[in-house]
């Protein structure tokens, strides 16, 4: 067992040394190859510049310019040819041809004697008149310069055919591999570069290997020495540690079965003795910790009862749910959890979640934002359907249930309200698109809608006759342990308090909604009118907008009651409220002030827009008589008309009650005008203004600020009229 890792380590060390050596040499050769290409490219650019210099001179001066280029060392030779390819001039001492073009590799075999760059000669009309070629001789001096630039050994291969046709510059071995591949030969790493377009020289780059000599014998010796030492140490450890380890294993097994009184005898002060001492101390401290946990759990249960009483006095549902979930997670040591409440469709909808990120299938686009579980499906749905708490360990091979996250362990308890009965449908549905909920406008509590927890179809059957209104579910306890019966009992007691708290919030919201709603028409009542009028005036004042107030009164409504009975009168009021809601926007508010009197608040609406609404309301009531039942059991059409008074903030008053009083005055004017019409309130009397004389030749003060009456001063004229949206 010891020799195996040692042998593996020796093999890894040898392989690592070889790999590092080859990697470093390959990197050096790669850098050298790049330097060779750069140097050859620079030489070709120099030759091209020299050929351009000769080509740009006049024809008569080209020989002299070519000689100057060669004398300055810009090229080894310059050759000029005419349009037929005939050589017209060549500098003395030129290398033998053919010269290989810098832009392409040699097309055939044979040695590379010189590199050249060619430039076309053209007359002013652009017609080719020949070429100018500048060449540089390829010799040992060029190879030596490349070796100095790259820092590695450089050899010139005299042809693309390989070593067989090479003219040796050094006595180093030549690789038969393809170009740009590193080959190791006789302790050296070789790389063949070119010929290729842009680098036509066939070069061989090489560096010596840095691998230490005698590496493998040293590794073999180290393996043998380690094996000998391992045998001696194994013999010693077998005598000293076997018995204490057996005792330690037995004590650990007893502790695993729950016996925290297990102790290990300490026989020495070596590592095994210190381990036994630490084990005994660990068991003592664990025993004390378990006792403290038991005491803490009992205290936690009492604290949860106090917390339940606190929750019962709170009316913020979302806050209650957060407190419930967080307290449950802390009490059980869970990693994640959620609170789900039933909606009217019989589906559990997540209202509060914590720690669910990363627990959803990759192909589930909804994730924790849409935690929805049908009743009867999965663990959570089964708890809601049966009302029985459940705990356990999830099957990792089973697919994730509908709307449920992945987990290893879980515990779920229902929120059960004893003898809970389905509540009536939300009466606010009868109030139309205008006054949907007080909370939408005043920031107050929002009545439960069709998806709230008190829907008539959302209760799950629970044991004992109670109705489950939701489920508290926790996932994956810290430490990987499964939730136990104590956790189930603790959460069950707490869930009872939480269910009462949720039900109290639901009842409180329903009572608050009913206190603000007229039971006959479903419109907001006079109490909410006063609050809404104050709030809408403040909002219009803050944003510089208009607010129109319409006071409505059904004409001769007492005749309807006296002729057809009060039941028919109630039917007329309910139908009028229905038609009223159909003619206003969602942002408008409709109220029943009392009897047959109604009030409309139209935010961001001027007098003209309010008049259009009044005309439309009068037409919709006048053109269609209301069908009602009489005391004799027959139905008759009842013609109804409405009178409307209009007042606008801030044109007619700057205080909410004053605007309402102005609308009432306008309503009386409409009644006096013959009913079935509308009138706009008269603007308030304005105080007499006294003109203040201003000096004609007033000057700008020394501080440079404009003054009334001064040149360039700000105008004190009236503000432009504010108009709401026309209707």
pLDDT value at position 362? 56
Asked if pLDDT for residue 402 goes beyond 70, the answer is no
Separation between Cα atoms, residue 605 and residue 589, nearest integer Å: 13
- pLDDT at residue 448 is higher than 60: no
Give the single-character DSSP code of 133: E
Dihedral of the alpha carbons of 424, 425, 426, 427, in degrees to the nearest 10:
-80
Phi and psi angles of residue 153, each rounded to the nearest 5 degrees, phi first: -75, 135
Lowest mean pLDDT across 12-26, 33-47, 303-317, 652-666? 303-317
Q: SS3 letters for 547-590? A: EEEEEEEECCHHHHHHHHCHHHHHHHHHHHHHHHHHCCCCCCEE
Query: Which residue in this structure is represented by tokens 């070593």?
Result: 163
Q: Could you tell me what percent of the chain has a pLDDT over 70?
A: 76
Residue whose token pair is 């570069």: 193
Question: Residue range 622-633: average pLDDT?
Answer: 85
pLDDT on residue 582: 92
Residues 329-353 pLDDT 10s: 887 888 898 888 888 778 888 888 8
Model confidence at 462, pLDDT cuts 50, 70, 90, reads very low
pLDDT at residue 15, as a whole number = 75
Instruction: Please state the domain extents for the chain.
Output: 3-208, 215-289, 314-512, 526-680
Q: Which of 29, 53, 52 is nearest to 152 (CA)?
A: 29
Mean pLDDT, the chain, whole residue set = 77
CA dihedral 35→36→42→45, nearest 10 degrees, is -140
- 98 prior amide bond cis, ω within 30: yes
Helix H or strand E segment including 86: none
The residue with tokens 């590799």 is: 105
Strand order in the sheet with 182-185: 153-156, 203-208, 188-193, 182-185
Helix (H) or strand (E) holding 539: helix 526-543
pLDDT at 719: 37
Q: What's the pLDDT at 659?
A: 95
Task: Report the distance separating Cα 149 and Cα 144, nearest Å.
Answer: 9
pLDDT of amino acid 693: 54
Handedness of CA 565, 569, 570, 575 (dihedral sign): positive
How far, in Å, CA of 190 to CA of 26, rounded? 9
User: How do 347-354 and 372-374 pair as beta strands?
Assistant: antiparallel
pLDDT at residue number 178: 57
By CB atoms closer than 10 A (0-12, 13-18, 19+), residue 203 is buried
Angle among Cα 265, 270, 276 to the nearest 5 degrees reads 30
CA atoms within 13 A on the CB side of 721: 9
Paired tokens of 347:
């589906």
Per the structure block, which two tokens stand in for 326?
């967080």
176's enclosing H/E stretch is none
Mean local confidence (pLDDT), 29-38: 85
Summarize pLDDT for 296-332 with one digit per residue, the tens: 777 667 666 666 666 665 677 777 788 888 888 887 8
Please tell me the least confidently modeled range out of 119-133, 414-428, 429-443, 462-476: 429-443
Q: Are 609 and 724 in contact (CB under 8 A)?
A: yes
User: Which residue, among 116, 108, 134, has the nearest Cα to 195 in the 3D structure?
Assistant: 108
pLDDT in tens, 51-103: 888 888 887 888 888 888 888 888 888 888 888 878 888 888 888 777 878 87
What is the average per-residue pLDDT within 464-468?
A: 60
Other Cβ atoms within 10 Å of 127 Cβ, number? 9
pLDDT in tens, 514-555: 788 888 998 999 889 999 999 999 999 999 999 999 999 999
Give residue for tokens 């205008």.
434
Q: Are 307 and 444 in contact (CB under 8 A)?
A: no
- Kindly report the number of other CB atoms within 10 A of residue 600's CB atom: 26
Residue 321 — φ and ψ, nearest 5°? -65, -40
Tell me the mean pLDDT in the region 641-653.
Answer: 95
pLDDT at 240 over 70: no
Length of the chain: 727
Instruction: Name the DSSP class of 22.
Output: H
- The maximal CA–CA distance of the chain, rounded, in angstroms, is 137
pLDDT at residue 578 tops 70: yes
Summarize pLDDT for 352-388 with one digit per residue, the tens: 888 888 777 654 555 555 678 888 888 888 888 888 8
Cis peptide before 86 (omega within 30 of 0): no
Bridge pairing between strands 153-156 and 87-90: unpaired
Tell me, which fold does domain 314-512 have in CATH? Answer: Beta-Lactamase (3.30.450)
Q: What is the CATH number of domain 526-680?
A: 3.30.70.270
Q: Which residues pair with 643 in a beta bridge?
A: 553
Under a CB-based contact definition with an 8 Å cutoff, are residues 492 and 555 in contact?
no
Q: For residues 681-686, give the mean pLDDT.
A: 82
- Is the CB of residue 158 less than 8 Å from the CB of residue 111? yes
Residue 427 has pLDDT above 70, yes or no: no
If pLDDT is split at 50, 70 and 90, which confidence band does 621 have? Answer: very high
What CA–CA distance (Å, rounded) separates 706 from 279?
Answer: 89
Q: DSSP states of 499-521 as a string?
A: HHHHHHHHHHHHHHHHHTB-TTT
The answer to whether the Cα torsion of 645, 649, 653, 654 is positive or negative is positive
Name the pLDDT band for 263 (thresholds 50, 70, 90). Answer: confident
pLDDT for the residue numbered 302: 67
Between residues 147 and 419, the one the model is more confident about: 147
DSSP H or E stretch at residue 394: none
> Mind listing the pLDDT tens digit for each residue in 553-563?
999 999 998 88
Tell me, what's the pLDDT at 419? Answer: 57
Residue 35, judged by CB atoms within 10 A of its CB (0-12, 13-18, 19+), counts as middle
Q: What is the CATH number of domain 215-289?
A: 1.10.8.500
pLDDT over 60 at 421, yes or no: no
Given a contact cutoff of 8 angstroms between Cβ atoms, the answer to whether 309 and 498 are in contact is no
């Amino acid at each position: 067992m010891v020799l195996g890792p040692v042998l593996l380590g020796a093999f890894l060390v040898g392989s690592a040394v070889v790999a590092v050596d080859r990697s470093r040499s390959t990197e050096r050769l790669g850098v050298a190859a790049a330097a060779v290409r750069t140097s050859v490219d620079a030489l070709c650019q120099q030759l091209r510049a020299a050929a351009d210099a000769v080509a740009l001179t006049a024809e008569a001066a080209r020989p002299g310019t070519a000689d100057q280029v060669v004398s300055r060392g810009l090229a080894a030779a310059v050759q000029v040819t005419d349009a037929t390819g005939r050589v017209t001039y060549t500098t003395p001492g030129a290398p033998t041809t053919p010269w290989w073009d810098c832009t392409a590799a040699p097309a055939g075999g044979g040695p590379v004697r010189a590199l050249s760059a060619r430039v076309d000669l053209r007359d002013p009309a652009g017609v080719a008149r020949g070429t100018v070629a500048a060449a540089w001789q390829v010799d040992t001096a060029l190879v030596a310069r490349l070796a100095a630039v790259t820092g590695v050994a450089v050899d010139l291969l005299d042809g693309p055919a390989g070593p067989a046709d090479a003219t040796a510059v050094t006595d180093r071995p030549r690789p038969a591999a393809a170009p740009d591949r590193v080959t190791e030969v006789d302790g050296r790493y070789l790389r063949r570069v070119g010929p290729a377009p842009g680098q036509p020289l066939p070069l061989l780059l090489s560096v010596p290997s840095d691998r230490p000599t005698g590496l493998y014998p040293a590794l073999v010796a180290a393996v043998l020495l380690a094996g000998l030492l391992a045998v001696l140490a194994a013999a010693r450890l077998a005598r000293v540690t076997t018995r204490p380890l057996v005792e330690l294993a037995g004590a650990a097994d007893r502790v695993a079965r729950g016996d925290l009184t297990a102790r290990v005898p300490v026989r020495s002060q070596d590592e095994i003795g210190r381990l036994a001492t630490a084990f005994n101390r660990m068991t003592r401290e664990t025993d004390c910790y378990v006792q403290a946990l038991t005491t803490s759990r009992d205290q936690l249960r009492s604290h949860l009862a106090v917390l339940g009483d606190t929750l019962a006095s709170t009316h913020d549902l979302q806050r209650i749910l957060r407190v419930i979930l967080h307290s449950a997670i802390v009490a059980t040591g869970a990693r994640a959890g959620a609170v789900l409440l039933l909606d009217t469709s019989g589906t559990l909808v997540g209202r509060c979640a914590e720690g669910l990120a990363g627990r959803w299938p990759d192909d589930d686009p909804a994730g924790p934002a849409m935690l929805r579980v049908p009743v009867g499906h999965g663990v959570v749905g089964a708890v809601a359907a049966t009302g029985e708490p459940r705990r356990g360990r999830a099957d990792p091979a089973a697919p994730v249930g509908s709307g449920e996250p992945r987990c290893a362990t879980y515990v779920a308890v229902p929120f059960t309200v004893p003898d809970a009965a389905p509540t009536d449908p939300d009466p606010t549905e009868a109030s139309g698109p205008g006054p949907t909920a007080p909370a939408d406008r005043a920031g107050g509590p929002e009545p439960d809608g069709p998806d709230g927890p008190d829907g008539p179809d959302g209760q799950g059957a629970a044991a004992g006759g109670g109705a489950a209104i939701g489920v508290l579910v926790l996932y994956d306890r810290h430490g990987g342990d499964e939730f136990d019966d104590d956790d189930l009992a603790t959460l069950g007691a707490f869930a009872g308090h939480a269910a009462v708290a949720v039900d109290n919030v639901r009842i409180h919201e329903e009572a608050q909604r009913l206190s603000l709603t007229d039971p006959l028409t479903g419109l907001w009542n006079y109490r909410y009118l006063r609050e809404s009028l104050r709030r809408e005036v403040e909002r219009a004042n803050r944003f510089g907008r208009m607010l129109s107030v319409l006071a409505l009164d059904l004409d001769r409504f007492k005749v309807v009651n006296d002729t057809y009975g009060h039941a028919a009168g109630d039917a007329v009021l309910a139908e009028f409220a229905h038609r009223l809601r159909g003619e206003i926007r969602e942002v408008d508010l409709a109220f029943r002030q009392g009897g047959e009197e109604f009030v409309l608040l139209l935010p961001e609406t001027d007098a003209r827009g309010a008049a259009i609404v009044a005309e439309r309301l009068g037409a919709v009531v006048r053109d269609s008589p209301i069908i009602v039942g009489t005391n004799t059991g027959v139905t008759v059409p009842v013609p109804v008309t409405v009178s409307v008074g209009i007042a606008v903030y801030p044109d007619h008053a700057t205080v909410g009650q004053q605007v309402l009083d102005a609308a009432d005055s306008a309503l009386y004017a409409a009644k006096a005008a013959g009913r079935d019409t509308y009138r706009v309130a008269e603007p308030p009397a304005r105080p007499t203004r006294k003109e203040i004389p201003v000096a004609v030749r007033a000057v700008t003060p020394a501080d440079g600020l404009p003054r009334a009456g001064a040149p360039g001063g700000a105008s004190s004229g009236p503000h432009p009229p504010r108009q709401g949206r026309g209707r």
